[in-house]
Amino acid sequence: MTIELPADTGAKPDGWDDKRQSAGGAAAWAIGFWIWPDKAEQTMTVNHDAVWAALKTVQDPEIFKDIVSLNMVKDAAISGGQVTVSVELTTPACPMRDRIRQDVTAAVSGVPGVTEVKVSFSANVRGVDQAKNLLPGVRNVIAVGAGKGGVGKSTMAVSIAAGLSMQGAKVGLLDGDVYGPSIPTMTGLGTQSPALRGEQIVPFRVGPAANPLRVMSIGFIVPKEKALIWRGPMVHGVIRQFLEQVLWEELDYLVVDLPPGTGDVSLTLAQSIGLTGAVIVATPQEVALMDARRAVRMFQQLGVSILGVVENMSAFICEHGTQYDIFGRGGARTMAAEMGLPFLGDVPIDMSIRKQSDAGDPFANLAGDSPVARSLTSIVQNLAGQISIRNLTRPAGKAIKLDITA
Ligand code: ADP
């Protein structure tokens, strides 16, 4: 899906020098007054090749390749001295948009004859070719895992899905936490049964009609009392069948909330779908981190990239502003550094997260400008950046075949 992003506001990037423009004009006028009007300066045609050569000097700040070779420049329209550059980002949640705007403006404004540079953005999420996998039409599958329960894995899975969707991407959220599905509560869906279209299960839609978040939980299909099937030899077949039957249609991102730990269901999900990668959620204390490291190793053994680590419940700030590091602070960041993994960000303990999750509005924690909304949005953007890096720098992930026997 190509997403048109909001038009250029005309805001000048940091370091942009208006005076340079008007001073240049004034200088030309002053010289022209005494000599002959510097027509060459005023009517100079901007050279198309020079503009593209300038664009080729601009690097994607995360991938370290030039934006022309990365096929991100879709157009450079010249009209008199004005150049409008159309840049296609690899995700609407791109954390580097302002930096790219600034670098493009700086590079192109150095081309002779250019008096104004405008940069417009669109986004086209690239992804793993799922055609041979279970989920055709789904470009990226992101598993959210944790070493143990109760660390906020489902909360992060919901927030990541809602956050990507709020940035304009087409997103699905799959609750694979069969032992304790919390997505139906956190999305306000409760215990409804999904509709069927032919043999296929239609995901629920929550949020704005124009770009809803599609939601499905294995818990909707298999009642709790049948939880036994999640152990032993049947698990592999049941999960594959379920995955094949959900009608996701076209998605930029499918976020999968895995069960905690490294059990059969996590393994089957990880090996059945061609995962783009996994996010590991951990709280900062050592006992949680030990399990988180185990989860990281499980994914790595399956050949699944770790897209990053999130530290949840990082600190509690009371109403008087005092910070209490209830579970410690920074442990997950240190773990990520030690294991050579990207650190996506931390989220404080905040009562509003618990309340809004219980209330079933997946978008509420990201709305507004609270510290929680800011940290979640930053995590979403950092993750989107990591996914783009992975897709542009590595070969497509493949589903790994491992047969699980009881
Ligand atoms: P998990 O999926 O790891 O078992 P959940 O996401 O279900 O954990 O979270 C467990 C509980 O903690 C939920 O009630 C959730 O609302 C709450 N919670 C999660 N993260 C935070 C946070 N940062 N601040 C406050 N409460 C949180």
**Same domain, residue pair 225 and 371:** yes
Residue 404 lies in a domain: no
- State the CATH number of the domain containing residue 219: 3.40.50.300
In a domain, 340, yes or no: yes
CA-347 nearest atom, ligand 1: 23
Check whether residue 345 and residue 273 sit in a common domain: yes
Confidence of residue 156 (pLDDT cuts 50, 70, 90): very high
- Report yes or no: 269 and 176 within 8 Å, Cβ to Cβ: yes
Residue 4 Cα, ligand 1 centroid: separation in angstroms? 34
Q: Do both 285 and 256 map to the same domain?
A: yes
Task: Tell me which of 73, 93, 124 is where a domain ends.
Answer: 124
- Please compute the mean of the pLDDT values over residues 134-143 and round it to a whole number: 87
The reply to whether 373 falls in a domain is yes
pLDDT tens readout for residues 342-379: 999 999 999 899 999 999 999 999 998 988 999 999 99
175 with 89, same domain?
no
Contacts of 88 (CB under 8 A, 6+ apart): 2, 71, 72, 73, 74, 121, 122, 123, 124
Inter-CA distances, 242 with 174, 237, 306, 366, Å: 11, 8, 25, 30
* Cα gap 164→162, rounded to integer Å: 6
Q: How far apart are CA 122 and CA 137, in angstroms?
A: 20
Cβ–Cβ under 8 Å, residues 306 and 280: yes
Cβ distance 62 to 93 under 8 Å? Answer: no
**Minimum CA distance residue for ligand 1 atom 6:** 152
160 with 239, same domain: the answer is yes
User: Which residues does a 6 A CB cutoff place in the pocket of ligand 1?
Assistant: 146, 149-155, 182, 260, 312-313, 347, 349-350, 353-354, 357
Q: Ligand 1 test: best mutation among 311, 354, 361, most atoms within 8 Å of CB?
A: 354
- Give the pLDDT score at 275: 87
Same-domain check for residues 205 and 101:
no
Question: What separation in Å is there between the alpha carbon of 150 and the centre of ligand 1?
Answer: 6
Q: What is the best residue among 310, 357, 365, 375 to mutate for testing ligand 1's pocket, by most ligand atoms within 8 Å of CB?
A: 357
Give how many domains the chain has, as a whole number: 2
Local confidence band at 392 (pLDDT 50, 70, 90 cut-offs): confident
Going by alpha carbons, the residue nearest to atom 24 of ligand 1 is 349
Indicate if 10 and 66 belong to the same structural domain.
yes
* Host domain of residue 176: 141-393
Domain end residue (candidates: 67, 89, 124): 124
Residue 366 CA: distances (Å) to CA of 5, 154, 260: 19, 15, 24
| Nearest ligand 1 atom to alpha carbon 148 | 3
In a domain, 131, yes or no: no
Q: Which of 124, 151, 182 is the last residue of a domain?
A: 124
Same domain, 278 and 368: yes
Residue 316 pLDDT class (50, 70, 90 cuts): confident
C-alpha 388/C-alpha 92 separation (Å) is: 11
For residues 109 and 148, state if they share a domain. Answer: no
Which letter does DSSP use for residue 217 in this model?
A: E
What value does the mean pLDDT of the chain take? 82
Binned at pLDDT 50, 70 and 90, residue 312 comes out as: very high
Dihedral over Cα of 58, 60, 65, 70: its sign = negative
Residue 319 or 338, more confident: 338
Assign 40 a pLDDT band (cuts: 50, 70, 90). Answer: very low
Residue 22 has pLDDT above 70, yes or no: no
What pLDDT does 405 receive?
Answer: 35
132 in any annotated domain: no
Atom of ligand 1 nearest to the CA of 372: 23
| 353 CA to centre of ligand 1 in angstroms | 8
Q: Is the pLDDT of residue 120 over 80?
A: yes
Residue 33, domain CATH: 3.30.300.130
In 3D space, the residue among 398, 148, 372, 144 whose CA is nearest the CA of residue 275 turns out to be 398
Residue 406 lies in a domain: no
Judgement on whether residues 193 and 92 belong to the same structural domain of the protein:
no
Q: For residues 176 and 239, what is the distance between their CA atoms, to the nearest angstrom?
A: 9
314 CA: nearest ligand 1 atom: 23
Q: Give the CA radius of gyration of the chain.
A: 25
Residues 63 and 102 in one domain: yes
Determine the Cα–Cα distance for residues 47 and 53; give it in Å rounded to an integer.
Answer: 10
| Partners of 346 in beta bridges | 311
Residue 133 domain flag? no
Q: Is residue 134, in this structure, part of any structural domain at all?
A: no
Q: Which is more confident, 130 or 59?
A: 59
pTM: 0.82
Residues 90 and 182 in one domain: no
